Structure 1
Amino acid sequence: MSNPEKKQRYDQFGHAGVKGGHGFGGGGGSMNMDDIFSQFGDIFGGAFGGGFGGFGGQSSRGGRRVNRGTNLRVKVKLNLEEIVNGVKKKIKVNKYVNCKDCAGSGAEKGSGFSTCHSCHGSGQVTRITNTILGQMQTSSTCPACGGEGQTISNKCDSCRGDGIVKGEEVIEINIPAGVMDGIQLSVSGKGNAGPRGGINGDLIVLIEEIEDDNLKRDGINLLYDLYINFADAVLGSTEEVPTVGGKAKIKIEPGTQGGQVLRLRGKGLPDLNGYGKGDLLVNVNIWTPKSVSKEEKDIIMKFKESSNFRPSPGKKDKGWFERMRDHFRQS
């Protein structure tokens, strides 16, 4: 080979060292990484409503980057009644807000923006690197303007050119019925303000459920442990049980067994997606006294001798495992 440089490449790398020696693309041009991502954006843009959009919040065509504010996270505690009915909550949050002195621009009054001298307004700086395969051209965010393509001539004294300052805001949150502990709700645009007129972040609301003194939650169902005495279990009775925001009466049939689960339909929690309401499941427990008087003991001994008080479960009487199975099937 007459070209010493090509001969050296051939000796080291064979044909790969001399073919397309000016870069990957052949044809004598250097490779531009931005062009590659731009081509992908053209291919996928129609299918997904836009191209890759570049990196760092900047468009693939080198436009001015739009700064986005960060998201805020708050916790909101709710009791069962608020979860059943849904609720509107007003909360005060500390956040970054737009600077009033410069209207969020970051520039002093009477001042403005000028084109960045480092990137000439593109927001990107290009670096060319020589490699064994030729020249590689890469682009990155301009450090002088942060990718915005513009610099502030005179920065606002109040916000030091950021366009945002520390403040607070009272925000009303509409919480739908049926939310669960740990669920996150997003309030669009109520997070921190974006620097220099950028887009606001979102407010992320984490739901915390306050444990009720009487009712336990099981999905959209509520559970309650009802204790009755031995006489009511034998003879039957009408008992009052708590519900969300009130009370309800439930009938205890004669011969009710301990561990039996009674169902009050529609007394549970609403489904978050609107698929009806759950039930209130009442687990019946028969209270056994730990001590009795001599007279009471004599009466109980008479009961003990009666054949009616001897355990004789029939085929229709379900055991604990069967009752639990039926409970989960009906839930």
Structure 2
Amino acid sequence: MSKRDYYEILGVAKSATEDEIKKAYRKLAVQFHPDKNPGDKASEEKFKEATEAYEVLKDAQTRARYDQFGHAATSGQGGFPGGGGGYGQGFDINDALRAFMRDFGMGGSTFEDMFGGGGRRGGGRQHFHGEDIKVRLRLTLEEIAFGAEKIIKYKRFKRCGTCSGSGAAAGASKEKCRVCKGMGEVRQVSRSMFGQFVNVSTCSNCGGSGEVITSPCPACTGSGRVEEQATITVKIPAGVSEGNYIPMRGEGNAGMRGGESGDLIVLIEEKDHERFVRHGNDIITEVPVTISTAALGGEIEIETLDGKVKLKIPAGTQTGKILKLRGQGLGKLRSSGRGDLLAKMTVWTPQSLSSEQKALYEKLRHIEGDVPPAKDTKSIFERLRESLGV
């Protein structure tokens, strides 16, 4: 099946700027990300397709070659960074996720750092880079406000201690693969109107290692790794949001036969709070006040993330009025300071009255002269914007 045009995939013009390409890719990547569409193979393929297009078009050199030769430039030794292979069958979902993490994750390292310069799809022997592991971490609003340290337990593959990750039994030797002659890859030369191209693929006989184990390790059956229950402490910075990633470098699965370990990707989720609702770095809470306090003004005690504080209620307070407590919200990611606590007033009407209270309300009804104003039709978000000055 022929590949779609990379510009068409991202929905941008051929004259699109680097920033426009990046924005278009991010929109598609978020829409089709596997974490948002678990088990949806169609979305996974679209995520991979968009990432592949982005990886080619974001780089001026590879984009120029693609503009000149089309998809023929990405086959075999098409000249993309990282060696042979291009973005063909070797470009899997883990590659796509790591590429996304590199540019849009929290604190992601560079593509070269993660794959040792040439990329794990590069030519020559493969070292079986370990798979990434994704875990979800649910945080309370308090943990998000101040930051936290969380202990995570998960299963992973570690390097086999018996064979030190080689996959070979003690005293056993490795032989050079006869199919690929120790190169770890096989090449097929083809010709087209653009000239000669070399299609490079992983050797199926040795799996890309260039070597064949004559006597596998009995502990790991030749894989060079065994399963373990791992425990790790993760530092959560204040101000993280749902959907943020925290990559723990090298804490994923160990690579087969001594390959580099993958990463542990910690996906942040937020727990609902019984009292507060998040709004960016601010938090919103409803505060009930009595009719007398709302009319006359006064001081009440309210709950915050830091504990109880005093709040002054101005006279004539109406339901829906927003009072701001500065610095009582959530910590700000990558900067100092905190957001605000936005207290939404709700005037409380008693449902049962004592005889004394009833008499006082009857007296008030006869002497009050104010006619209730028309209902305020502003939404809570409009009142929030007024309170925030935006």
TM-score range, shorter chain: 0.7 to 0.9
Match of 1:115 in 2: 176
Is the contact between residue 88 and residue 175 of structure 1 (CA under 8 Å) also seen in structure 2? yes
The answer as to 2:310 corresponding to 1:249 is yes
Q: Give the aligned residue type for 1:40.
A: G
Listed one character per residue, the Cα deviations across residues 154-210 of structure 1 (whole Å, up to 9, x for unaligned) are 211111110011112211211111112232221111101100000111111122222
Q: Structure 2: where are the runs of 5+ without partners?
A: 1-71, 91-118
Match of 2:382 in 1: 325
Q: Structure 1: where are the runs of 5+ without partners?
A: 1-32, 42-49
Calculate the TM-score normalised by the size of structure 1.
0.77
CA distance in 2, matches of 1:36, 1:77: 43
Counting helix residues as a fraction of each chain, which structure ranks higher?
Answer: 2
The answer as to 2:75 corresponding to 1:40 is no
Q: How large is the Cα RMSD of the aligned pairs?
A: 3.1
Deviates more, 1:110-119 or 1:136-145: 136-145
What is the SS of the residue equivalent to 1:107?
Answer: coil
What is the SS of the residue equivalent to 2:302?
Answer: strand
Match of 1:100 in 2: 161
Match of 1:269 in 2: 330
CA distance in 1, matches of 2:196, 2:152: 57
The structural deviation recorded for 1:311 is 2.4
Is the contact between residue 123 and residue 145 of structure 1 (CA under 8 Å) also seen in structure 2? yes
What is the SS of the residue equivalent to 1:233?
Answer: helix
Residue 287 of structure 2, aligned match among 226, 231, 236: 226
Bigger relative contact order (CA 8 A; separation at least 6): 1
Q: Give the aligned residue type for 2:385.
A: F
CA distance in 2, matches of 1:248, 1:91: 34
CA distance in 2, matches of 1:146, 1:34: 26
Counting strand residues as a fraction of each chain, which structure ranks higher?
Answer: 1
The structural deviation recorded for 1:223 is 0.9
Distance 1:195 1:167, change over 3 A: same
What is the SS of the residue equivalent to 1:231?
Answer: helix
Distance 1:249 1:161, change over 3 A: same
The structural deviation recorded for 1:39 is 5.6
Residue 85 of structure 2, aligned match among 46, 54, 68: 54
State how 1:1-331 maps to structure 2 within 5 Å: 37-38=76-77, 40-41=79-80, 50-54=81-85, 56=90, 60=122, 62-127=123-188, 138-274=199-335, 276-293=337-354, 295-311=356-372, 319-321=376-378, 324-329=381-386, 330=388
The structural deviation recorded for 1:78 is 1.8
Is the contact between residue 234 and residue 256 of structure 1 (CA under 8 Å) also seen in structure 2? yes
CA distance in 2, matches of 1:196, 1:81: 43
CA distance in 1, matches of 2:223, 2:162: 12
CA distance in 2, matches of 1:217, 1:135: 58
Aligned residues: 286
Listed one character per residue, the Cα deviations across residues 240-282 of structure 1 (whole Å, up to 9, x for unaligned) are 1111131111001222222111000110001213163211011
Is the contact between residue 304 and residue 310 of structure 1 (CA under 8 Å) also seen in structure 2? no
What is the percentage of aligned positions where both structures have the same residue? 38
CA distance in 2, matches of 1:160, 1:272: 46
Calculate the TM-score normalised by the size of structure 2.
0.66
CA distance in 1, matches of 2:380, 2:228: 57
Match of 2:116 in 1: none
The structural deviation recorded for 1:294 is 5.0
Deviates more, 1:223-232 or 1:176-185: 176-185
Q: Give the aligned residue type for 1:238.
A: E
Is the contact between residue 125 and residue 185 of structure 2 (CA under 8 Å) also seen in structure 1? no
